[in-house]
Amino acid sequence: MATATKSEQAESVRAKVRSGYAGIATRGGSCCGPGRADSARLAEHIGYDAKELAALPAGANLGLSCGNPTALASLKPGEAVLDLGSGAGFDVFIAARKVGAKGLVIGVDMTPEMLAKARANIAKFSKRTGLKNVEFRLGEIEHLPVADNSVDVVISNCVINLSPDKPQVWREIARVLKPGGRVSVSDLALLKPLPLKIRKMVEALVGCVAGAVLVQETERMAGEAGLVDILLTPKPGYVEAMAEWNDPLYAKIVRSLPKGAKPSDFVTSLEVSARKPER
């Protein structure tokens, strides 16, 4: 049997992720299955304000976050913001309120079902806030449908780890940022390599675990893309808290770990901030 090319392997990963998230968009649940904690409780646990969550259009929060990149970004009125893997629009709608009428927030997602869910909420968001500063585009985060040097801030929430070509994602981030623009990403990263059995689990891939790379790899890729002032802040509490949520993916991973080990020995939520140098 012929070995799949690197391109074929990458497309296979994208197909699995696209299928998994299409199911979440149409049937509900989350990236870790229907047993996960409710979306609002998860979002509050990782730092979102209850008032922000209450103001969201219905269905925007699907419980897919592992951090709060909009808070990390310290968004300002008038800024142009790009959200990689925007899903149902959770961080896009929150960011839109922060940048105001003179700002713009663009969400990019490769799953049509997610885009449909997000776009369906634009009118509701505009009616509630009076803002018309949101748009959603179909595309892969490795090939962003966004012009060079056009956005002030790139955010992403638990998505880059799913990409089969993470160095290309970081190059794309650097390309679309204006000189002096900044990056605020929440993602899952590895403290040490995962056992092979877990890396091969499709459920773990869709759950943002199997695709994660070592913390130092994230720093290297961002630096090689040309970004500077890279700051990495591990947030182990997210993974540790999953034990309290009767999460089916968490339970399956625990059964696959070496005796006595726990997921937080291997995986952490990671805040990544960086910026593009001035000209």
Average pLDDT, the chain: 85
CA distance 51 to 26: 26
Percent of the residues in the chain that have a pLDDT greater than 90, as a whole number:
49
**Token pair for 226:** 């040309």
Angle between helices 112-120 and 6-27 (to 10 degrees): 40
* 104-109 β-sheet, strand order: 134-138, 104-109, 80-84, 151-157, 177-190, 267-275, 228-235
CB atoms within 10 A of CB 150: 16
Say yes or no to pLDDT of 122 above 90: yes
What was the pLDDT predicted at 173? 98
Structure confidence by residue, pLDDT tens digits, 124-154? 999 999 999 999 999 999 999 999 999 999 9
Using an 8 Å Cβ cutoff, are 21 and 87 in contact? yes
Q: Look at domain 33-275 and name its CATH class.
A: alpha beta
Structure confidence by residue, pLDDT tens digits, 183-194? 999 998 989 988
Region of poorest pLDDT, from 47-61, 112-126, 194-208, 221-235: 194-208
Angle at 143 (CA atoms; ends 145, 221), nearest 5 degrees: 130
Higher pLDDT among residues 177 and 87, named by residue: 177
CB atoms within 10 A of CB 64: 25
What was the pLDDT predicted at 26? 72
Higher pLDDT among residues 60 and 246, named by residue: 60
Structure confidence by residue, pLDDT tens digits, 18-58? 777 677 767 655 554 434 446 667 776 777 888 878 888 87
What was the pLDDT predicted at 212? 83
